[in-house]
Chain A
Amino acid sequence: MKETEISKHTISILVDNEAGVLARVIGLFSGRGYNIESLTVAEVDASYHQSRITVVTSGTPMVIEQIKAQLSRLVPVHKVSDLTLSGPSVERELALIKVIASGEKRVESLRIADIFKARAVDATNSSFVFEIIGSPEKIDAFIKLMEPLGLSETSRTGVAAISRGTLTM
């Protein structure tokens, strides 16, 4: 890859679930001018009090290497893994999407939701809330199709990711 080419990376970080740890990670990105496209965090191991943070970021290969090196040297960080480089991985995101429409548009939104296997989790005479789970690209595509059909609000969780096969962090 060219040194100046910018690419997107999904990075998983295993951290001690302690006060301020998220601020350290976010502060590192904002303080050094790296960008965060998406970020998720939740405790994944209650007995060891460890959380997993998944960050989607982008940069040149040198910047991505810096980001990982900077993350690795934070004291509460146990492990940093670049899922984009470590082999195939699964990425999933959940989105809740509100569509306000009537008539043909309303029907069309239901039809598309069906194709995308999105569920209506709330409905009124003039609105739906769809729940969709999938790769960020699939959700992007769904949202794009909903735009002309009365899309009025979107809430996305950000990406959760894990490598395929037997590989672990």
Chain B
Amino acid sequence: MAERILNGSEVVLQALVDQGVEVVFGYPGGAVLPLYDEIFKQNRIRHILVRHEQAAVHAAEGYARSTGKVGVVLVTSGPGATNAVTGLTDALMDSIPIICLTGQVPTHLIGNDAFQEADTTGITRPCTKHNYLVKDSEKLARTMHEAFHVATSGRPGPVVIDLPKDILVAKAPYLEPSQVTHRTYNPIVKGDRGQIEQAIELLASAKKPILYCGGGVINSGSQACKILTEFTRMTGVPITLTLMGLGAYPASDKQYLGMLGMHGTYEANMAMHDCDVMIAIGARFDDRVTGNLDFFSPGSQKVQIDIDQSSINKNVPVDIGIIGDVGHVLEDMMKIWKAKQHRIDAKALDSWWDEIEGWRGKRCLSYKQPNDVIKPQHVIRRLHALTRDRKTYITTDVGQHQMWAAQHFGFEHPHEWMTSGGLGTMGYGMPAAMGVQVAHPDATVICFTGDASVMMNIQECATLKQYHLPVKTVILNNRYMGMVRQWQQLLHGSRYSESYSESLPDFVKLSEAFGFTGLTCNNPADLDDTLKQMLEIDGPVILDVAVDDKENCYPMIPSGKPHNEMLLGAETNGDEAIDSDEGMVLV
């Protein structure tokens, strides 16, 4: 095949087009001007100008998580690249496929402390899945395509391509994606047949089984979620999801026990503690999930399915570790289960469910909505109820509001929930919502945030306005860094050191200054109307809801405690506690 010779910037753009990229989130600067010039001259790729490079990465994460595609970022050298580091780390922790193109000083100046030079590959080595510095035009096209392969296959993650300015200008040969082969990186997707059979035997012989599923199911895709749902229903086994896994199984289903972990439900955590067979599927035994490892599910035999060998036996030793893609492995498990006509001992399973119903009876998420002050959980429940007939995507920031959103907004489908789980990055919510809205212009996109978190990327209001992105930002405003305050209350003798939000802006005026609508609500009786009003507005909105400033997020497994020593809220045993949507409307 005859080689096509282009200039470096054309090669980069052509590679993006051939990789199916439609949108790039970026911010220009000296080192990437040739690329911006190329962007100017074409209309195949849309560029969204953010207001801070961290936000570009979060926007790309939101785009990627809500579509299953890769998110693409373009930033300049030096400060552009260093500003992107938090976003890259976030994407690495949460296994989000990102391609981040960074500008670099020309190759002959590298190492000279040139203007806006930073050792980008050095800085980003520990916070990317892989990174490249392109020093040879011959390798540019190959590197671009290989980067997409690495970012999206196996366990997905962020990949940086550092592009010196001279490489962007020099002539370079272009290769199509099909002309590039990958020498080393070819992860296993099919699980080992023998191990899968063993796992099935183990599950079939269980008396108290549980499926513990995580973000890996979402990573594997909608089809994997469908198979998981079928498999769960076919076996009749209880299922719990991690924060990252929400939506992989419909929340309204009776076999679903809710989220597990530090702020998970009583029934999910008790079932994890007491089970005899645990099947972990695309979940990495994070410390927020396991609590104290010495007491973690002491009586169970464990199977773990994960595409990344290093996730297996990392924190918790398992009896059977299956390396492979969730979708592929579950498909095989279904086939074997059906072929062997397995059935879990019905009597044992019934009594296991009886036990679980007992735990469910605690109604650990219930709360009372009084007349005078809005409970934060109530905002989430009401918004869930009011958006049921819409295609809705939720993003969050980090803190109590994030946990309440996870607990109270029932996710029925995958890819509709975007949150920063592994890194817990305040400032994630609004830019992530931006990216989601770019991908799904007609959907309802809601960002639940806190009065502290929202300030961390508030500049993105300008991006929302510029691109008419009708994101609805709902601030659960408790005037505190609520999660910090909660820990200070429970663990530091209520000494609220530096966790009070002094001098918050007037969010209505702030919204108006950016050119869109701001709303407030502080009366429980007005909540529904205000939420409806917000949903009807055709444009971005910030809704500032004054909520109970001392509400704590329960249940809670204090750090270092086992699953069966959860703290439950004061309301859980009260007769008047409301935990149905109907009841909740009565204020």
What is the interface of chain A, defined by CB distance below 8 A to chain B? 3, 16, 19-20, 23-24, 27, 31, 62, 65-66, 69-70, 72-78
Provide the residues of chain A in CB contact with B183, threshold 8 Å.
16, 78
Given A19-B133, A20-B125, A73-B313 contact (CB < 8 Å): no
Give the residue of B125, B126, B310 whose beta carbon is less than 8 angstroms from that of A66. Answer: B310
For residue B182, which residue of chain A has the nearest CB? A75
Contact B133 A73 (CB under 8 A): no
By CB atoms of chain B within 10 A, which of A19, A62, A75, A76 has the most? Answer: A75
Once bound together, how far apart are the Cα atoms of A70 and B312, in whole Å? 11
Cα–Cα, bound, A72→B155 (Å)? 13
- Known contacts A23-B125, A69-B312; 9 further A-B pairs (Cβ under 8 A): A20-B121, A20-B125, A31-B126, A62-B313, A66-B310, A69-B308, A73-B155, A75-B129, A75-B184
Tell me the chain B residues, 102-138 only, with Cβ under 8 Å from chain A: 121-122, 125-126, 129-130, 133, 135
CB distance from B320 to the nearest CB of A (A): 15
Instruction: Say yes or no: B310 contacts A70, CB within 8 Å.
Output: yes
Known: A3-B317, A16-B184. A73 touches B121 (CB 8 A): no
- Residues of A within 8 Å of B150, CB to CB, are 75
Tally of contact residues, B, Cβ under 8 A = 21
CB neighbours of B122 from chain A (8 A): 23
Closest-CB distance, A125 to chain B (whole angstroms):
45
Which residues of B sit under 8 angstroms from A27, Cβ to Cβ? 125-126
B184–A72 touching, CB < 8 Å: no
Q: Jot down 6 A-B pairs with beta carbons below 8 A, ordered by A.
A: A20-B133, A31-B126, A73-B308, A73-B310, A75-B184, A78-B183
Q: Which residues of B contact A73 (CB under 8 A)?
A: 154-155, 308-310
Q: Which residues of B contact A74 (CB under 8 A)?
A: 130
Q: Provide the B477-519 mask, 1 if CB < 8 A to any CB of A, else 0.
A: 0000000000000000000000000000000000000000000
Q: Which residues of chain B come closer than 8 Å to A75, judged between CB atoms?
A: 129-130, 150, 184-185
Report the 7 A-B pairs with minimum CB-CB distance, sorted nearest first. A69-B310, A69-B309, A75-B130, A75-B185, A70-B310, A31-B126, A78-B184
Residue of A with least CB distance to B310: A69
Please give me the residue from chain A that is nearest to B159 by CB atom. Answer: A75
Minimal Cβ-Cβ distance residue in B for A65? B313
Report which of A3, A19, A77 forms a contact with B184, defined as CB distance below 8 A. Answer: A77
Min C-beta distance of A167 to chain B, whole Å: 22
Rounded to whole Å, the gap between the CB of A79 and the closest CB of chain B is: 9
Considering the chains assembled together, what is the distance between the CA atoms of A37 and B532 in angstroms? 64
Residues of chain A within 8 A (CB-CB) of B185 are 75
B123-167 residues at the A interface, CB under 8 angstroms:
125-126, 129-130, 133, 135, 150, 154-155
| Measured CA separation A24–B121 after assembly (Å) | 10
A66–B313 CB distance below 8 A: yes
**Alpha-carbon gap, A3 to B316, bound state (A):** 12
Would you give the shortest CB distance from B276 to chain A, in whole angstroms? 21
Question: Which residue of chain A is the closest to B184 with respect to CB atoms?
Answer: A78
> Chain B: which residue is nearest A79 at the CB level?
B184
Q: Which residues of chain B are near A19, meaning CB under 8 Å?
A: 133, 135
Q: Chain A: which residue is nearest B122 at the CB level? A: A23
CB distance from B53 to the nearest CB of A (A): 23
In this assembly, does B314 line the interface, its C-beta being within 8 Å of a C-beta of chain A?
yes
Mask, B184-198, CB within 8 Å of A = 1, is 110000000000000
Given A66-B310, A72-B309, check contact A24 B184 (CB 8 Å). Answer: no
Task: Output the least CB separation between A134 and chain B (Å).
Answer: 34
Name B135's closest neighbour in chain A (CB-CB). A19
Instruction: Enumerate chain B residues within 8 angstroms of A24, measured Cβ to Cβ.
Output: 125
State the CA gap A143–B309 with chains docked (Å): 41
Write out, one digit per residue, whether chain B residues 178-220 have a CB within 8 A of any chain A CB (1) or not (0). Answer: 0000011100000000000000000000000000000000000
Chain B residues contacting A69 (CB-CB under 8 Å) are 308-310, 312
Q: Are B184 and A76 in contact, CB atoms less than 8 angstroms apart? A: yes
> In this complex, what residue of B is CB-closest to A16?
B184
- Least CB distance from A107 to B in Å reads 52
Output the nearest chain B residue to A77 by Cβ-Cβ distance. B184
B126: nearest residue on chain A (CB-CB)? Answer: A31
Nearest-Cβ distance from residue B295 to partner chain A, whole angstroms: 16
Give CA–CA (A16, B185) in the complex, Å. 12
Nearest chain B residue, comparing its CB with the CB of A30: B126
Task: Name which residue of chain A comes closest to B133, CB basis.
Answer: A19
Considering the chains assembled together, what is the distance between the CA atoms of A31 and B313 in angstroms?
Answer: 19
Q: Chain A residue with minimal CB distance to B125?
A: A27
Give the distance to chain B from A45, nearest Cβ to Cβ, in Å: 13
Residues of A within 8 Å of B130, CB to CB, are 74-75
B184 CB contacts on chain A under 8 angstroms: 16, 75-78
CA distance A76 to B133 in the complex (A): 14
In the assembled complex, the Cα of A128 lies from the Cα of B317 at a distance in Å of 53
What's the Cα separation between A75 and B133 when bound, in Å?
Answer: 14
Q: Determine the residue in chain B with the shortest Cβ distance to A74.
A: B130
